[in-house]
Structure 1
Amino acid sequence: MSNKITFVISGLRGGGAEKVCVTLANGLANQGYDIDLVVLSLNGAVRANELSSKVRLVNLNIGHARYSFFSLWRYISTGKPATVLSFNRQLSVVLVLIRKLLFKEFRLVSRNIIYLSIAEQNKNGMWHGVVSKYLTKRFYSLSDIIVAQSHAMKEDLLDYLCLPDEKVKVIHNPISSEIESIGDSPLDEQACKSDYLLCVGRLEHQKAFHYAIECFSNVAEKYPNLRLKLVGRGSLESELRNQASALGVVDRVDFDGYQSNIFSYYLGAKATLLTSLYEGFPNILVESIALGTPVVAFDCPSGPSEIVINGVNGFLVKQFDLADFCNKIEIVIDEPMPKCQIKATAEAFERNTILDEYARVLMNFDYAYND
């Protein structure tokens, strides 16, 4: 049985999916698997330098998944992977079509990155609103296995794509090796908390950081030295700055942009906040608790409810209940939770445990092709 596995992803920018891709590729390569990592483009590839030398990087130099058919076909024809792990549903659709139309034999495992039904509802226009939705429903389901990052995501996939239960496997995201090493190092033990709350992610609609700024403005008077740090880039930065100005806290909200080294931010924060409208499986919550920093999160679909344990590693708040969100922020500031208690709740997401789960799915050839 071949141990060759090909990872396929759009690029290696600074997002959570890219981080998980690199973590899995490095981990499986270090376990002796023959790993190719195929990217459409290396534009803005901040995570490329995190790849192990054991991972073979293949750049197709393509701008979008819709143009990838022939390049992926040529790669598969020459590379002959036994299993392909796709990190993008558009790429999964292309790979299914390559199997069906060109009779290529490989096992396709698709890692779903979002709460699909909500993401599809938000699409508009002829291509995204009609064509893309049709292709997703018609062909994405023909992956041999779809990996869901949470149980709520699995239920959504089963319902939205009308899949049998056995087609969807729940595997949580792993803690990165860097986070694990820092969590076990003197750097973690010596870290002191500073007077700030932390938000991490793209400054886009889905992350809904305007709620974080609004809640911060409501607690700011009680904690005159407290700041809010937003780590990430996005199209809404100006809008969020204007909101902070209108609420009178612009001089206490820091827009720190994308940071390749986020660890010190977690270590120093009083708490990490998540105000997203929806998620797949929010890595920032896992990273935060792994480094002993509590979280306050909206109970959005999906993921937070499978990470946050109320009163142990933070608090889960009913979505859009801003009054309770503010209250929980005050509790984590006024009544700090033991660091060791918080870190213990991250054990379920240890890297080796997740790697073993992926290896079992990727190397299980008992499934027939679903074409």
Structure 2
Amino acid sequence: MTTATGRIALFIPSFSDGGVEKQMVALAGGFAQAGYPTDFLTRPGELPYLDRLDPAVQLIRLPAARNAQREATIDYLRTQRPLVLMSAKGKDDLLALDARDAAKNAAGGTRVFLRCGIHLSSRPKMVSRNPLRGLWHRWRLRRLYARPDGVICVSDGVADDLAQLTGFARARIAVIRNPTISAGFDARLAEPLDDPWFAPGAPPVILGAGSLAPVKHFEVLIEAAAALMRTRELRLVILGEGKERARLEALAGSLGIRDRVRLPGFVGNVLPWMRRAAVFVLSSEREGSPNVVTEALACGTPVVATDCPSGPREILDGGRFGPLIPIGDAAAMQRAIAAVLDAPLPAATLQSAIAEYTLPRACAGYLRAFGLAG
């Protein structure tokens, strides 16, 4: 029987512009620098963050069409025979497992790992008003998670939720923190930011970042900021793009703060913005392990976050490194932001919160989970 090589393949054909993509690019470089041949399988096109991919990583472009991606992945497994194929996003999990099964005889033992970065039971389809719809999705998840060789989660809360929802044994789930602090972090942090709102002497800036989607609840952040602006000279910047843009801009206008709110769109490097912000605010209704929170802390920037399932509480150590507030509560958010602005924690204290979120620690954890290191 043909044996698999020591090659690691990161599988992300649904690549977009989120935090998962940044983390996987960093991990690929970490594996390659640790001496493991590493492939990065993704879709065609001009994609963000790929300029950060380590030159030692082999970038493999899959076709754009989903059916063609399946056939190309099967062919890849048959010819390259990686030891590990890790699916990085839930959209790609079934494709990875089906390709492994179709290529099994020739792949010679490739093992598929699924990486879960979201709190599954909080998704709208899992809490649908139609109980049959929720049961259907739970049944599908249980079938899906009966198939991988291993599962990796980004937080304890995500792992606990996944085990309960799918029946996958909690003891078999590896929890590995995201590699937020990776190669080039300091250089990206030091990049200049030519923006008058962040110039010395300008009013303090409240910062949010993420896709402009309903799940992020940036409308709550705008409402809280508007209340604060009645008595304080402040500005609000929300980085990201999405279908909620028009609604958020209209809300800022209706609250009379349109000239003090900006939505610059997608930004490839958020660190210079975070470094100069007075406070970073996470307003989401659900997160797995929000990279923006760990990035802000790494910059020494105070954080306010919703106590949503499941990452903020773990990162902020139950509120020790930043206030945790109820989801959707603009008044509580207003009070928390005011408290942080009046008495911010020292930067060194905030930075100490993310000691586990480094590329070397993450790589070591993944290699242990893959059975490649002790």
Normalised by the length of structure 2, the TM-score is 0.88
What secondary structure sits across from 1:68 in the alignment? helix
Q: Is the 8 A contact 1:11 1:45 kept in 2?
A: no
Kindly state the Cα deviation for residue 217 of structure 1 after the two structures are TM-superposed. Answer: 0.8
Q: % of aligned pairs identical?
A: 27
Q: Is the 8 A contact 1:85 1:109 kept in 2?
A: yes
Q: Is the 8 A contact 2:126 2:137 kept in 1?
A: no
Q: Is the 8 A contact 1:179 1:290 kept in 2?
A: no
Specify the alignment match of 2:21 in structure 1.
18
Provide the rounded CA distance (Å) in 1 between the counterparts of 2:140 and 2:103: 18
Kindly state the Cα deviation for residue 94 of structure 1 after the two structures are TM-superposed. Answer: 2.2
CA deviation map 1:8-62 (0-9, x unaligned): 00254321000000010011111111000011x1334011111111000000122
Question: Which 10-residue stretch deviates more, 99-108 or 228-237?
Answer: 99-108
Specify the alignment match of 2:58 in structure 1.
56
Kindly state the Cα deviation for residue 141 of structure 1 after the two structures are TM-superposed. Answer: 3.4
Q: Is the 8 A contact 2:289 2:310 kept in 1?
A: yes
Partner AA of 1:359 in structure 2: L
Structure 1 residue 138 corresponds to structure 2 residue 143: yes
In structure 1, list runs of 5 or more residues that go unmatched: 367-371
Provide the rounded CA distance (Å) in 1 between the counterparts of 2:170 and 2:373: 18
282, 289, 299: which is aligned to 1:281?
A: 289
Specify the alignment match of 2:96 in structure 1.
95
Structure 1's 151 and 310: CA in aligned 2 closer, same or farther, altered over 3 A? closer
Specify the alignment match of 2:165 in structure 1.
160
Specify the alignment match of 1:77 in structure 2.
78
Provide the rounded CA distance (Å) in 2 between the counterparts of 1:304 and 1:101: 39
Specify the alignment match of 1:115 in structure 2.
119
Question: Which 10-residue stretch deviates more, 10-19 or 46-55?
Answer: 10-19
Provide the rounded CA distance (Å) in 2 between the counterparts of 1:273 and 1:138: 37
Structure 1's 289 and 79: CA in aligned 2 closer, same or farther, altered over 3 A? same
CA deviation map 1:178-214 (0-9, x unaligned): 5742599798xxx979610110100001111111111
> What is the aligned-residue RMSD (CA, Å)?
2.8
What secondary structure sits across from 2:146 in the alignment? helix
Structure 1 residue 200 corresponds to structure 2 residue 205: no
Specify the alignment match of 1:369 in structure 2.
none
Q: How many residues are aligned here? A: 359
Specify the alignment match of 2:225 in structure 1.
216
Structure 1's 281 and 335: CA in aligned 2 closer, same or farther, altered over 3 A? same
What secondary structure sits across from 2:230 in the alignment? coil
CA deviation map 1:214-270 (0-9, x unaligned): 11111111212x111010000110011011111111111101101112111001101
Provide the rounded CA distance (Å) in 1 between the counterparts of 2:159 and 2:319: 27
Q: Is the 8 A contact 2:87 2:115 kept in 1?
A: yes
Partner AA of 1:227 in structure 2: R
Structure 1's 123 and 31: CA in aligned 2 closer, same or farther, altered over 3 A? farther
In structure 2, list runs of 5 or more residues that go unmatched: 193-198
Normalised by the length of structure 1, the TM-score is 0.88
Partner AA of 2:115 in structure 1: R
Provide the rounded CA distance (Å) in 2 between the counterparts of 1:232 and 1:97: 34
